[in-house]
Structure 1
């Protein structure tokens, strides 16, 4: 019976991923309906904590966007990239990583992709090289950023006081080294631009040749409030890190029955801290910079939140119900293997992330399983970057955008679909990050 149920689970995820948008969420709810009414499974608790974190963090990031803070950060990143054109394959991915690490979202990479493509073209560097690894870097930034839903979710599941700081200590350096290894494998990837027969064929078209001379460089006016908004946002990140490192600073509200926000000992958990701090930061940005709340609701980040919430609700609730119903079988199968070879759990994380297209959803679905079969916290931290398998199927928006912005056509999907431009740098970067993570976590 478990194989039939697993087949339904995978079918709902695969169909949902093809529908895109909220498709993953609604197909997840259909799967949950089938599990409850068809197999009489007891529904698991919906992932309320993850949804609260997504709402709080994305709302704050959208407020930063409305106040001009994201434009200011992107302008700084653009200056760094344009200042070092010949080293763009090295400079671009690290610039993207730190920008997305600070903001807690990989979608900021959209603003830098046309810049990376243009600078590459002008320096006669094959755009596929910096574009592919920059997209991977934007994804890896989420497994380490205190402002990402994935990191906040893992910290909440681990449920010990210094979880946030430990995740940062392990995952930031391991992902940076992973990105460096990705840079190494794309440094000479493919033919040189002006030796590429496909590009040379395109150059025969006068209209295409003329279009390559157009510049994407624009002088965008930065709002006076931008720097103040970035400062407030930065302070919010710092407070989350401080409260994570020094839990004694969090007030105790009295012992009692544990709830969604308050632990049994009376301490406010990380979910509560993140929601309160981030939304308070959003309020201060609105008040101090006089940013309209109506304008915040119109921001692209804010409107994308509905898709994220529906997707996570559906696929995580369905998956958690399947996991709970078959917990005994799953533990029996994987417990002995994980005890001897804990790194094998990284493959399960990676596989699930290729289906869900979400680091936060994968974390919420799979990490409780890792804890239940006895994988230690340091090993889970080491394997955290493996939730970045969303590049395997080249339908994720960041991958599609990179291919669209590369006018030379070097960044592309291969004949067999999976042999696309992002596959090799992605696998190498994630594998290296996990390997280095095991080394670093051994000292915790």
Structure 2
């Protein structure tokens, strides 16, 4: 029965990924009906705290976007890249990494990609190099971000082991940023120069390449709100980090249990939710963020899609795991016996199917804990959840290909021989290797 359930589980993931959008979550709902009502598996449980933290962070990000904060950040990034166009292959991925790390969302990349393509073309640099690496850098920046959905999920799962945000960031930030630099070297001389590229020359002759218009300057009032909302959101990030470093700052409280007063302390999950919701409120009051615009923005829309997907897949995975806990734990335990780092390949493979770092985390990281893997090892293997570049069907990858008017960024004739494979493999495996070294040498 295990194999039938596993095949069904994988089939639902594949169908959901192909349909896209919220289909991952709704297809998982069909799987839950089969698992629970027909196969009589345990109900399992959705990751309520994780979902709550993700929703709160998305709410704060959406208000910042509504106030113009994301546009302001993209404008700053564009100015930095235009100052050193000859180094765009290194500058663009690093700027994108920092921007995604700070904002907690990969969606800023959609505004950066056409700028990177244009700067590259005008500088005579093959756009495929910085564009492909920028897409990979955004994935690494997301797992390094203290307020991304994936990191929030990791904190929620590893909190039972006493792991806090600072411990994670001390490993993940240096390992991923070094990996981005290493990955940039792999594409530095990739492909023909634009002057020698026949596809680009043909497109140029046919007039298929259109110059990009410069970004419009924000008026004084809009700029003030955009800057203010950005700084306030960063203040929220700092507060979260400080509360993680100094847990004594989190308030304690008393409540009655069985007729006796019991003292407790607010956990990091509720603390993050409270801070992010409050910051969203302050941005609306002080910097005039439009609530309707926040709900209709790209961050909120994509965030809701992520929430539905994580709700469904995590719940389906929980039901499948609880129904087969002993067999799964024993099988994986034997497979990785003496080589616990092999668990990272499982994370990498699952992320290819799920197209989501957060969904991969909430699906497989609890299995790692059940296997008795050290929290330090799971942190070091965390960057392995960035494997969804392998199949060039993810939104940011398709956008990168479409924004490169020169035709140098492409999907190969064998599907997997695309522009993102080499930098993706090198960067992801470098991040894990460096994280392992940091973990076990410090």
TM-score grouping bracket, smaller chain normalisation: over 0.9
CA displacement, residues 139-187 of structure 1 (integer Å, 9 cap, x when unaligned): 1111121111111111111115552111111001100111111101111
Aligned equivalents of 2:263, 2:125: Cα separation in 1: 58
Aligned equivalents of 1:203, 1:46: Cα separation in 2: 52
**Mapping of 1:161-176 within 5 angstroms?**
161-176=162-177
Aligned equivalents of 2:162, 2:68: Cα separation in 1: 34
- For the Cα contact (< 8 Å) 2:75–2:215, is it kept in 1? no
CA displacement, residues 198-234 of structure 1 (integer Å, 9 cap, x when unaligned): 22232331x22xx34x233222315121111111111
- For the Cα contact (< 8 Å) 1:114–1:216, is it kept in 2? no
**Mapping of 1:269-284 within 5 angstroms?**
269-284=267-282
Counterpart residue number, 1:407: 405
**Mapping of 1:210-249 within 5 angstroms?**
211-212=209-210, 214-221=211-218, 223=222, 224-249=224-249
TM-score, normalised with respect to structure 1: 0.95
Aligned equivalents of 1:442, 1:183: Cα separation in 2: 26
Residues 256/167 of structure 1: CA separation in 2 closer, same or farther (3 Å cut): farther
Structure 1 stretches of 5 or more lacking a match? 258-263
- For the Cα contact (< 8 Å) 1:339–1:375, is it kept in 2? no
- For the Cα contact (< 8 Å) 2:336–2:343, is it kept in 1? yes
- For the Cα contact (< 8 Å) 2:163–2:375, is it kept in 1? no
SS in 2 for 1:198: helix
Aligned equivalents of 2:246, 2:334: Cα separation in 1: 36
- For the Cα contact (< 8 Å) 1:357–1:390, is it kept in 2? yes
Counterpart residue number, 1:49: 49
The match for 2:392 among 391, 394, 397 is: 394
Counterpart residue number, 2:183: 182
Aligned equivalents of 2:256, 2:158: Cα separation in 1: 21
SS in 2 for 1:340: coil
CA displacement, residues 263-287 of structure 1 (integer Å, 9 cap, x when unaligned): x972222210111011111111111
Aligned equivalents of 1:220, 1:330: Cα separation in 2: 56
- For the Cα contact (< 8 Å) 1:162–1:244, is it kept in 2? no
Residues 374/338 of structure 1: CA separation in 2 closer, same or farther (3 Å cut): farther
- Using the TM superposition, give the Cα deviation of residue 256 of structure 1 relative to its aligned residue in structure 2, in angstroms: 7.4
Counterpart residue number, 2:417: 419
TM-score, normalised with respect to structure 2: 0.95
- For the Cα contact (< 8 Å) 1:338–1:375, is it kept in 2? no
- Using the TM superposition, give the Cα deviation of residue 242 of structure 1 relative to its aligned residue in structure 2, in angstroms: 0.6
- After alignment, is 30-39 or 406-415 more displaced? 30-39
Structure 2 stretches of 5 or more lacking a match? none
- Using the TM superposition, give the Cα deviation of residue 313 of structure 1 relative to its aligned residue in structure 2, in angstroms: 1.1
SS in 2 for 1:189: coil
* 1:102 maps onto 2:102 in alignment: yes
* 1:303 maps onto 2:301 in alignment: yes
- For the Cα contact (< 8 Å) 1:161–1:244, is it kept in 2? no
User: How many residue pairs end up in the alignment?
Assistant: 434
Aligned equivalents of 1:203, 1:95: Cα separation in 2: 29
- For the Cα contact (< 8 Å) 1:26–1:314, is it kept in 2? yes
- For the Cα contact (< 8 Å) 2:284–2:290, is it kept in 1? yes
Counterpart residue number, 1:113: 113
- For the Cα contact (< 8 Å) 2:50–2:156, is it kept in 1? no
- Using the TM superposition, give the Cα deviation of residue 443 of structure 1 relative to its aligned residue in structure 2, in angstroms: 4.5
- For the Cα contact (< 8 Å) 1:115–1:216, is it kept in 2? no
Aligned equivalents of 2:87, 2:334: Cα separation in 1: 47
SS in 1 for 2:43: coil
* 1:330 maps onto 2:328 in alignment: yes
